[in-house]
């Protein structure tokens, strides 16, 4: 992509309303724009990151055996009256009336709708287990939307819903999502710590939040200090096999979110307890028959008797993740994207757009990068070198190839690694070989 054709409205000034670094950088790097309180437009650069994150989430859900579908954003209030949550959900739910005076709502989550879909189509235990997910916009009229997309009112969530015949197979479904979350966040370069958590309006008694430690995190969290030394989980897993040992390993040490932490009953000695702040990037729930029972989602078991299905739900804050990743990976000059979620892998900088030899070197490199499928943002404009360096550092692409008149004469370009800051003078061919490796 040529920068002169792109839409990258970066800001020099730090926006006054942004209190945390991810919000500042997302605004300054031209990733998002606020449309109204807690509601954002995703500009091209931010949208590329969102799509990359969404795709990683999708691949790991599919790998774990979940099946993708799409439910609407607007739901009828009727189903929510059956589950009892129409009143329980309170002011966070955005209620709407259509022209016929029917009560509708903008879905804050989808337990009711998916249970209804399941109920109307599945009758026998032979069709179980199932896990259905979608990635869709949600709306919660948060009292305090803040920190940009971190706590929005409209936000993008992956929500999966599992259906099982009995408790053991419901736990297996839960474990599948637990393990797939470890892999999902690891692929984004994040160390997510599973922590025992309250279930709030979703319900149930077994629940884990997946937390990224960050000073700016909204949640106070507590865990045994040895959890911080756990290796990021990248193993291949057999999702049909016994996942309990993996879950036991990750839940064996104390880790709890604020609402589950009781200082008087904490089993960890003070010296071993880490008190920190964290960002909740995912939350999984097992809630048995909380929805299936009132909504009549039953199947005939092996003995012919009807039983309500055992359910769980599993959320990932897809639109929160770009901000969480920035909180975990930045420096004073800007964002440092981990490669798998970077909007482009390479930034190509022509330091002298008026110099024919710089232009031809850059154009050739750009062509080769495109042909090799290496995503490249080519700064082909005529800003000063300083402005180009600052912008590239701000938007945080993992690699920069810098082409200037002196290097072109000597037959070299500069390859810079954004994360380490390491720079190397080398031929254009060697730079390409390095990126293709």
Residues near ligand 5CA, by CB under 6 A? 109, 111, 140, 142, 151-152, 155, 157, 159, 202, 280-283, 285, 313-315, 317, 319-320
Nearest distance, CB of residue 64 and ligand 5CA, angstroms: 14
136 or 417: CB nearest ligand 5CA: 136
294 or 381: CB nearest ligand 5CA: 294
| Maximum alpha-carbon separation in the chain | 82
Nearest distance, CB of residue 156 and ligand 5CA, angstroms: 8
Nearest distance, CB of residue 185 and ligand 5CA, angstroms: 11
Taking residue 248's Cβ as centre, other Cβ atoms within 10 Å add up to: 10
71 or 266: CB nearest ligand 5CA: 71
Q: Which two tokens stand for residue 379?
A: 């700064």
Q: Which two tokens stand for residue 194?
A: 């599973």
Nearest-angstrom CA–CA distance, 359 and 352? 8
Nearest distance, CB of residue 259 and ligand 5CA, angstroms: 12
State how far the alpha carbon of 256 is from the alpha carbons of 143, 151, 325, in Å. 24, 21, 21
Peptide bond preceding 354 in cis form (omega within 30 of 0): no
Nearest-angstrom CA–CA distance, 22 and 302? 52
Taking residue 211's Cβ as centre, other Cβ atoms within 10 Å add up to: 29
282 or 308: CB nearest ligand 5CA: 282
Nearest-angstrom CA–CA distance, 73 and 137? 6
Strand pairing partners for 257?
221
Nearest distance, CB of residue 159 and ligand 5CA, angstroms: 3
Nearest-angstrom CA–CA distance, 307 and 112? 18
Sign, Cα dihedral of 329, 333, 334, 338: negative
State the DSSP string of 343-367. S-SEEEEES-TT-HHHHHHHHHHHH
Residue whose beta carbon is closest to ligand 5CA: 317
Nearest-angstrom CA–CA distance, 70 and 82? 22
Nearest distance, CB of residue 362 and ligand 5CA, angstroms: 39
Query: Which residues in 50-171 belong to E strands, given as ranges?
Result: 67-68, 74-76, 94-97, 103-106, 130-139, 154-164
Nearest distance, CB of residue 157 and ligand 5CA, angstroms: 5
290 or 388: CB nearest ligand 5CA: 290
Nearest distance, CB of residue 182 and ligand 5CA, angstroms: 15
133 or 399: CB nearest ligand 5CA: 133
10 or 136: CB nearest ligand 5CA: 136
Nearest distance, CB of residue 85 and ligand 5CA, angstroms: 11
Strand pairing partners for 298?
308
Taking residue 147's Cβ as centre, other Cβ atoms within 10 Å add up to: 23
Nearest distance, CB of residue 148 and ligand 5CA, angstroms: 10
Instruction: Yes or no: say if 56 and 68 are a contact pair by the CB < 8 Å rule.
Output: no
State how far the alpha carbon of 231 is from the alpha carbons of 37, 56, 188, in Å. 38, 20, 14
Nearest distance, CB of residue 374 and ligand 5CA, angstroms: 31
151 or 388: CB nearest ligand 5CA: 151
10 or 199: CB nearest ligand 5CA: 199
157 or 394: CB nearest ligand 5CA: 157
199 or 430: CB nearest ligand 5CA: 199
Instruction: Yes or no: say if 136 and 70 are a contact pair by the CB < 8 Å rule.
Output: yes
């Amino acid at each position: 992509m040529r920068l002169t054709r792109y839409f990258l409205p970066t800001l020099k000034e730090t926006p006054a309303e942004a209190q945390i670094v991810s919000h500042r950088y997302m605004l300054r790097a031209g990733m998002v724009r606020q449309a109204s309180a807690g509601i954002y437009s995703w500009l091209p650069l931010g949208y590329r990151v969102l799509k990359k994150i969404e795709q990683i989430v999708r691949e790991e859900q599919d790998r774990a055996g979940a099946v993708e579908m799409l439910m609407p954003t607007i739901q009828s209030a009727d189903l929510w009256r059956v589950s009892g949550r129409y009143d329980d959900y309170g002011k966070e739910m955005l209620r709407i009336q259509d022209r016929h005076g029917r009560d509708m709502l903008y879905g804050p989550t989808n337990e009711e709708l998916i249970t209804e879909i399941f109920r109307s189509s599945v009758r026998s235990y032979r069709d179980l287990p199932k896990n259905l997910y979608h990635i869709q916009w949600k709306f919660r009229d948060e009292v305090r939307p803040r920190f940009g997309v971190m706590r929005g009112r409209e936000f993008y969530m992956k929500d999966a819903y599992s259906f099982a015949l009995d408790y053991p197979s419901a736990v297996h479904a839960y474990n599948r999502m637990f393990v797939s979350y470890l892999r999902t966040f690891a692929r984004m370069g994040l160390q997510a710590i599973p922590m025992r958590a309250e279930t709030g309006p979703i319900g149930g008694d077994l629940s884990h939040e997946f937390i990224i430690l960050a000073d700016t995190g909204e949640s106070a969290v507590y865990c045994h200090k040895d959890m911080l030394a756990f290796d990021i989980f990248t193993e291949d897993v057999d999702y049909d096999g016994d996942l309990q040992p993996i879950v036991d390993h990750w839940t064996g040490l104390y880790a709890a979110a604020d609402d589950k932490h009781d200082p008087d009953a904490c089993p960890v000695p003070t010296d071993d307890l880490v008190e920190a702040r964290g960002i909740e990037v995912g939350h999984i729930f097992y809630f048995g028959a909380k929805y299936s029972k009132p909504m009549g989602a039953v199947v005939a078991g092996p003995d012919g008797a009807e039983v309500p299905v055992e359910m769980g739900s599993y959320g990932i804050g897809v639109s929160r993740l770009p901000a969480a990743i920035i909180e975990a990976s930045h420096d004073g000059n800007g964002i440092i994207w981990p490669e798998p979620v970077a909007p482009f892998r390479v930034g190509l900088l022509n330091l002298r757009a008026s110099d024919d030899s710089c232009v031809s070197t850059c154009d050739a490199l750009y062509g080769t990068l495109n042909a090799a499928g290496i995503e490249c943002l080519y700064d082909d404009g005529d800003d000063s070198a300083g402005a180009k360096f600052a912008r590239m550092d701000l938007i945080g692409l993992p690699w920069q190839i810098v082409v200037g008149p002196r290097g072109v004469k000597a037959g070299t370009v500069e390859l810079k690694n954004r994360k380490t800051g390491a720079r190397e003078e080398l031929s254009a061919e060697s730079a390409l070989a390095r990126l293709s490796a």
